[in-house]
A and B are shown apart, each in its own frame.
Chain A
Amino acid sequence: MNGKTLMYILKRIGMAVLTIFVVVSFTFWFMQLIPGGPFTSEKSVSDTTMAALKAKYGLDKPLFIQYLIYIWRSFTFDFGLSMKQIGMNVDDIIANGMRYSFPMGLTATVIALTFGTFFGSIAAVKRGTWIDHVIMIGSSASVAFPSFVIATFLLYFFALKLGWFPTDYVNGGNQAFILPVITLALYPSAYITRMSRSATLDSLGSDYIITARAKGASKTRVLFGHVMKNSLAPTITYAGPMFAGIITGSLVVEQIYQVPGIGRAFINSITGRDYSLVMGTTVILTDLIVLMTLVSDLLYKVVNPRVELE
């Protein structure tokens, strides 16, 4: 690792910290817009109880001091107690949600990568034939389907009409996760298919492929040894942000399939003004996205050494 690379990494880490800072600050000040507080409810609470509650969660301090505490906590991952779910630690709530969201996101990522590269490469190799057309039409259509449409359609046909899959995600076992995972994987699969098709086409047209073929390397060997090696680069770098995107984007899918994942925790936390949980989920999701982007950018350099870092 030379000085230039180190500088680049340091700069990127600085940017990542800045991004998290901006998101956390924005979250804090924006949440102040909502009328009422976390302890406003139909039941009237006596003034002393309210004061005690506010003191317990530090809401009695001046706004700016609250903000500083908020920032400090978001960088130390100490989110404290939830303000709405009594006696629950925010870290525990997030961990509970992740127990569902993480495996779902990971499976969907793996499926998307496998199918995407497979179909993309086939479409490129068979360019202009009916196979290519079918794959490209399929991927254009999948990109146009919002996830809630796919989710409701799958739920309607396969769970309600045909009864193939259970819909209870707490006790349903692994089978219950098949439909949500398919829903989550469809859009990224289609995206990777298109990306990998154009990367493979680029690679197929290069001089070194012609050289390899001229030297007598078989078609299979050229495809797997030469073409794939280069066409996989963009896909690999896309995988990290995609994984983060699937986890954050899973909230609609979790809402429809009633999966108690992190996405639902996030929405509930904002509507309930559960400040500590909002902070926890926002920081975790932002960290995830920023970290994955950082890793993928660095990975891009490893995969493709010709790229100059700036």
Chain B
Amino acid sequence: MKIGDKLPFPVSLQVDYDRPSIYHLDDYGKETKEASKDEKAAQQKMRPSTSFFRDSVKRFLRNPVATTCFVIMVLLILTVIIMTFVDPYKYDHQLTLDAYDASYNHLFPFQYSDTEKALIAQGQYVFPHIFGTDDLGRDYFARVLCGTAVSLCVGFFAAAIVLIIGSIYGSVSGYLGGKVDLIMMRIVDVIYSLPDIVLIILISVVLHQVFLTADIGIFTKLGSGMVSIFIVFALLYWVGMARLVRGQVLSLKEQEYVLASRSIGGSPWFVIKKHLLPNSMSVIIISAGLEIPSAIFTESFLSFLGLGVNAPMASLGSLASQGENSMKVYPYLLFIPALTICFIVLCLNLIGDGLRDAFDPRLQR
């Protein structure tokens, strides 16, 4: 058969690539039928292709503990957001001062003050004090909500700081290599060996003193504990992340597609941004996620020492710290925020473990 000859069978110009070809040369002239659905299904041996991400999510969902914790955390965050709007009480509002009614102070959970009892007797609806009130007559549920939100925010932002600084530093160091890498990694080594607790205490005590006398706008509002956590995470805690990212980059930069990208003129920053970071993203995000409970832990511990958020703002640690003063008489003021911290940290730890197992293929058993 030469080029230009008429083909012995009709060829449609519109080729439907999605449809399997049912015409074969052998079968020319014979009566052919399209395969039935069952026959087609029998031919299909491959399972649908999945991406690494989808595969990992599937593995994560197969882990009942981690999935439960994830659902609980989502519910908790939603509860905090919704209840902040639903709850008529504000975290810094002293109910005692509204009606000059001292019975507002130190209400036990679901108790009502004298004023409120009178209102209820008149048939009005009064929103219950779900966790009671504290020594200044502030609704404790509203304060715990505020504290939970503050603690969670500290966790997320601290993790974000670690993520940004660590991944930029690590990828630059790993990509450039050579002397630059050597010097950058020596700096990391020194920072790595600094005693973190000593420095955290030092920084937050000093900042606490500074904020007591000077007003530095938003920073004073946040409180020394919060600012010092961010400083400490920005100064010290990114080094673990930097090492991790550097390791990832070192192994990835030998790949062919990186060479290809460089050979057609990709600048170092372009290669890092376009190829190296996206490919090590899952590992990076998971270890940043593990920083969240650690930051919440640190914040609560500083707040407990009285170095945390400034009153009337509340974090779970500062609530527990205030609760400890009166724990003989009103133990719930201590136990509610303390148990909330434990609960959040436990859930986040378990989610982190689950994610690490799901996303790190080397750990698959």
Chain A contact residues, CB within 8 Å of chain B? 15-16, 18-19, 22-23, 26-27, 30-31, 33-36, 140-141, 143-149, 152-153, 156, 160, 244-245, 248-249, 251-252, 255-256, 266-267, 270-271, 273, 278, 282, 285-286, 289-290, 293
Choose from B209, B317, B324 the contact partner of A34 (Cβ within 8 Å): B209
Instruction: Indicate the member of A140, A147, A152, A160 with the most B CB atoms within 10 Å.
Output: A152
**When the two chains form their complex, are residues A144 and B293 in contact, meaning their CB atoms are under 8 A apart?**
yes
Total contacting residues, chain B, CB less than 8 A: 42
**When the two chains form their complex, are residues B209 and A23 in contact, meaning their CB atoms are under 8 A apart?**
no
**When the two chains form their complex, are residues A286 and B198 in contact, meaning their CB atoms are under 8 A apart?**
yes
Q: Closest residue to A31 on the B side, CB-wise?
A: B206
Scoring B residues 273 to 313 as 1 if CB is less than 8 Å from chain A, else 0, what string do you get?
00000000000000000000100010011001100000000
**When the two chains form their complex, are residues B197 and A146 in contact, meaning their CB atoms are under 8 A apart?**
no
**When the two chains form their complex, are residues B203 and A146 in contact, meaning their CB atoms are under 8 A apart?**
no
Choose from A18, A33, A270 the contact partner of B201 (Cβ within 8 Å): A270
Chain A contacts for B202, CB-based, 8 A? 27, 30, 270, 278, 282
By secondary structure, the B interface counts as helix
**When the two chains form their complex, are residues A149 and B327 in contact, meaning their CB atoms are under 8 A apart?**
no
Bound CA span A36–B320, Å: 31
Chain A contacts for B349, CB-based, 8 A? 140, 143-144
Choose from B199, B214, B305 the contact partner of A267 (Cβ within 8 Å): B305
Stretch at the interface among B73-81, B83-91, B121-129, B188-196: B188-196
Choose from A26, A34, A147 the contact partner of B301 (Cβ within 8 Å): A147
Whether, in the assembled complex, B346 has its beta carbon less than 8 Å from a beta carbon of chain A, the answer is yes
**When the two chains form their complex, are residues A270 and B300 in contact, meaning their CB atoms are under 8 A apart?**
no
Bound CA span A18–B190, Å: 8
**When the two chains form their complex, are residues A270 and B194 in contact, meaning their CB atoms are under 8 A apart?**
no
Contacts known (A140-B349, A267-B205, A270-B206); A152 close to B320, Cβ less than 8 A? yes
**When the two chains form their complex, are residues B346 and A144 in contact, meaning their CB atoms are under 8 A apart?**
yes
Choose from A35, A140, A147, A248 the contact partner of B198 (Cβ within 8 Å): A248
**When the two chains form their complex, are residues B320 and A148 in contact, meaning their CB atoms are under 8 A apart?**
yes
Chain A contacts for B213, CB-based, 8 A? 35-36
Whether, in the assembled complex, B168 has its beta carbon less than 8 Å from a beta carbon of chain A, the answer is no
**When the two chains form their complex, are residues B194 and A23 in contact, meaning their CB atoms are under 8 A apart?**
yes
**When the two chains form their complex, are residues B190 and A22 in contact, meaning their CB atoms are under 8 A apart?**
yes
Q: Closest residue to A294 on the B side, CB-wise?
A: B193
Scoring B residues 325 to 365 as 1 if CB is less than 8 Å from chain A, else 0, what string do you get?
00110010011001101110110011000000000000000
Contacts known (A35-B213, A144-B346, A149-B341); A26 close to B199, Cβ less than 8 A? yes
Whether, in the assembled complex, B183 has its beta carbon less than 8 Å from a beta carbon of chain A, the answer is no
**When the two chains form their complex, are residues B328 and A146 in contact, meaning their CB atoms are under 8 A apart?**
no
Scoring B residues 238 to 249 as 1 if CB is less than 8 Å from chain A, else 0, what string do you get?
000000000000
Contacts known (A15-B189, A152-B327); A271 close to B346, Cβ less than 8 A? no
Q: Can you list 18 A-B contacts with CB-CB less than 8 angstroms, sorted by A residue number?
A: A15-B193, A16-B193, A18-B190, A23-B198, A35-B209, A144-B345, A144-B349, A148-B338, A160-B328, A249-B197, A256-B324, A266-B198, A271-B205, A282-B198, A286-B195, A289-B198, A290-B195, A293-B193
Q: Closest residue to B296 on the A side, CB-wise?
A: A146
